[in-house]
Structure 1
Amino acid sequence: GLLTTFIFFISKSENERFSTIKFLLNHYIYRYLRYTIFYALILLIHITLSPYLGQYGPVYPIDGSETLTCRRTWWRNLLYINNFFDIRDGCMAITWFLAVNMQFHWIAPLFLLTVAWNWIFGMLVATAFILVDIITTAVIVSKNNYDHGILSDLYSNGSHWSNTSHNYMNDVYIKPWCRIAPYAIGLVLGYAVYEMYKRSNTVSWESLLPQRRLTRANRIKQILAWIFALFILALCIFGTYGDYSGHSLNRSERIAFLTLSRLGWAIGLSIIIIACFTGHGGIVNKLLSHSFFDSLAKLTYGAYLWHALVIFVNYLSRDQPTHYTVANILYNSIIHIIIAYILSFFTFLLIELPIIRLLKNAFKRPTLSS
């Protein structure tokens, strides 16, 4: 949401003849083509080649391929509506996130055009998004008595998903109305970042706001903001520790965690982003601003689409059970990441990069340097 809002206002400020209709066409068509062309290629590979990649393992022919389902449901993925169907009757289950992300992109103009007209009404739209998330998630979780640890129970019934985990995935985990709050926070943050950017009279990301010597009071505020952000992030990660240490959370605490943890995570990250943006990020800002991440970011989309196939082929083609240890999981995770990024590197150069350049030339997308 942050980049969507920021790029929108940059485009609007640099174009004296800004057209809402032209913006909407650009907003929808560019994003759809940017995501879908490469996505369709990976989907095609998944359908046609995956049955032949793990044929030496005894498990693979049974559970290792979504080919039959994909041939029947692929169109849901390309329309980005696959998260509205049963996740067990879908193709490339991990792509529920792409569907949710695209759906948020579709409704983002409700906020963008409103906040451009009147920032107060824009904030009301964002608040409505957040309330929809909180209320619907709380109601669904409470009604069905879902547990925060439900995802660890996905395969508790042999090789099949347990009914409770399956229902939670379908009802909450992959639904846009249960995930829109973090995106709304990003939209608001993008507007705040743009306002700071506009007042800074500079185009340098490293000095977007005037640097000044911190007073004692300002330094205390900065430290408190960092402590608050890290506390929220830690609470989202370790908030359910009691269930694993003999002090189980009660029903209200579990509902609160499932309802507010994603929102809290977004707020914590937003505080850190603001700190980095205003020159108060310290070593965190230096690390995240390293040029290494610029290159890595270009490969992330491809690695995301490749990684599930890499994992399936590795695990489901084995001819003996896997012994789970921390070292074993860590080793396999590193190997999976490396292979996924290698595949992404080659497909980025051969396919994704030409697509990006063609689309940017066709749609004249703005860049920060412009």
Structure 2
Amino acid sequence: MLVVWFHATLLQRLGSGPLWHSTVGRDVARCRAGWWRNLLFSNNYGDHNHQYCLLVSWHLAVDTQMFLVCLPLVYALCRRPWLGRAVLASLFALSVLVPFLVVWIGRHDALVLPILENIEDLPSSRYMQEVYVRTENRAAPHLIGVVAALVMVRFRQSHFRINKAWSLAGLVLLKAAAVGTMLCAYPLYAPGWERSQALAALYAALSPVLFAAAHAGVVLLLCFGSLGNLKKILTWRPFRILGKLTYGANLVHTLAQVYYKGTLRVQLPTDVFTFLWMAAGDAVFSFATSFLLWLLLEAPARALGGLVFGQRAASRRHKTS
């Protein structure tokens, strides 16, 4: 909410330029009108005026909504496994069927295309509004996460291990499947290929499933596989630190981009060096700002929460002992 507040109040006062009103001013107006949706974690459902405040935060709303959905599901899996599995299977089937029907009936594209309409104003894109950010079209990866968690709970106390050869082969196949899932979209828009709406809908429905399943498989391999030094590299402490900053970096990275576009007064060259230079600066700015937010907000909040809930847990253990 601090980032939303910054967009709605201070951002507009920090610069000027010929594109300032059409870029920064537009985002400021959206945050002033739709900030309350971010507060209620419903900002992935905008209105007819495209009032998406801080569009990159859409997946926080999806995560929160799916967390609320999965709470009773996990409870049922623990208390009534047969009922929980039936509900999980039903929800998973719906999570694949719904985006298929939405894309097919609505004649949407299979993914967000880098066309001028989307580049100029992504929140007003019809695909973004009706497909990309909506929870019903994003539920499948979360349910795959629940399945992966069930597998981990099932085998965590056993001595089940996958040998090194199968672990390495599985890792290569899973990463190839993840990359292949993205590349499979190429034939849908390749020059000379006739566009098929049914194939576009099928890709939109199955690609999140395959991509999430591949990465869930990698996590399971790290837990039960024999990856040796490769596991040490993948679980290296600096990577874990960067992992804690990733969401914050995603949340603030558009801030520098919008500001720079709004203050731009000359046309930039479109060469590889300029692209790499701006990408490196964007990454450094995003992670540095995320680290600052983590120090000022997230770390104190986590420490306070651990102190409060830790004391409650200790008190309950003391009473039962």
Name the TM tier (shorter chain). Answer: 0.7 to 0.9
Match of residue 85 from structure 2: 123
Q: Could you list the per-position Cα deviations for residues 49-72 of structure 1 after superposition, in whole angstroms to 9, with x for gaps in the alignment?
A: 1112332x2101222132223222
Does 2:204 match 1:277? no
1:235 matched to which residue of 2? 180
Number of residue pairs the alignment of both structures matches: 309
Spell out, residue by residue over 1:320-353, the C-alpha distance to the aligned partner (whole angstroms, 9 max, x if none).
1233334333321221111111112222212221
Given the alignment, which residue of 149, 166, 183 partners 1:190?
A: 149
Residue 174 and residue 111 in structure 1: after superposition, are their counterparts in 2 closer, same or farther (change >3 A)?
Answer: same
Residues 350-369 of structure 1 mapped to structure 2, 5 A cutoff: 350-364=296-310
> Is the contact between residue 37 and residue 43 of structure 2 (CA under 8 Å) also seen in structure 1?
yes
- Are the aligned partners of 1:155 and 1:162 in contact in 2 as well (CA < 8 Å)? no
Distance in structure 2 (CA, Å) of the matches to 1:114 and 1:272: 27
For residues 1-370 of structure 1, the aligned pairs below 5 Å read 40-55=1-16, 57-65=17-25, 66-86=27-47, 88-153=50-115, 155=117, 159-160=120-121, 166-200=125-159, 214=163, 219=165, 221-222=166-167, 225-242=170-187, 243-244=189-190, 246-248=192-194, 250-282=196-228, 284-364=230-310
C-alpha distance in structure 2 between counterparts of 1:189 and 1:359, whole Å: 27
- Measure, in 2, the Cα distance between the counterparts of 1:313 and 1:174: 24
Give, in whole Å, the separation in 2 of the partners of 1:99 and 1:340: 21
TM-superposition CA deviations, 1:295-330 (whole Å, max 9, x none) = 212322322221111211122211112333343333
**How far is the alpha carbon of 1:223 from its aligned partner?**
5.6
Q: Distance in 2 between matches of 1:171 and 1:344?
A: 30
Asked if structure 2 preserves the Cα contact closer than 8 Å seen for 1:153 and 1:162, the reply is: no
Letter in 2 for 1:147: D
CA distance in 1, matches of 2:57, 2:66: 14
| Paired letter, 2:158 | R
Equivalent-residue separation in structure 2 for 1:88 and 1:328 (angstroms): 32
TM-score, reference length from structure 2: 0.86
Q: State the 4+ residue runs in structure 1 displaced beyond 6 angstroms.
A: none
124-133 vs 240-249, greater mean Cα deviation:
240-249
TM-score (norm 1): 0.76
TM superposition shift of 1:160: 4.6
CA RMSD of aligned residues (A): 2.6
SS of structure 2 residue aligned to 1:80:
coil
Q: Give the C-alpha shift of residue 261 in structure 1.
A: 0.3
Question: Paired residue for 2:317?
Answer: none
Q: In the alignment, which residue of structure 2 is the partner of 1:18?
A: none
Alpha-carbon contact 2:50-2:123 (below 8 Å) kept:
no
Which structure would you say has the larger RCO, counting Cα contacts within 8 Å and 6 or more residues apart?
1
Question: Contact 2:104/2:200 (CA < 8 Å) preserved in 1?
Answer: no
The unaligned stretches of length 5 or more in structure 2 are 314-321
Identity of aligned residues (%): 23
2:52·2:123 contact (CA, 8 Å) conserved in 1?
A: no
- Whole-angstrom CA distance in 1 between matches of 2:115 and 2:293: 35
SS at match of 1:83: coil
Is the Cα–Cα contact under 8 Å of residues 80 and 99 in structure 1 kept in the other structure? yes
Q: Structure 1 regions of 5+ residues with no counterpart? A: 1-39, 201-208
